[in-house]
Amino acid sequence: QVLTLAWMNKESLQLTVETGHAVYWSRSRQKLWHKGEQSGKQQLIKSIRLDCDNDAILIEVIQKGGIACHTGRHHCFYQLLVDEQWTTTEKVLKDPKEMYK
């Protein structure tokens, strides 16, 4: 199951490999983003795969706490297009205000 989509740079990929925890690059904050650093919902690395063009990677993770999305849902892809309307398909598991105190 796809949990999220995130950017990485060379440094974040290197840290991910070294630590065994997902580290991404935050384009909005222009800094490294250690997944779960504020919420405690870390991603532990199971495997890292490289695509056929060598320009994208897929990381299989163990999601600590079962919540990958900052909205408090299991994954970030909780909206589904049904009859030309976006429908929410996943419930909030934990109020984000409680995760980011």
Amino acid at site 64: K
| Domain contains 91 | yes
**pTM for this entry:** 0.87
CATH of the domain at 70: 3.10.20.810
Exposed, middle or buried by CB within 10 Å (0-12, 13-18, 19+), for 16?
A: buried
Digit-by-digit pLDDT tens for the chain (101 residues) are 999 999 999 999 999 999 999 999 999 999 999 999 988 999 999 999 999 999 999 999 999 999 999 999 999 999 999 999 999 999 999 999 998 86
| Domain contains 55 | yes
Residue indicated by tokens 């199951």: 1
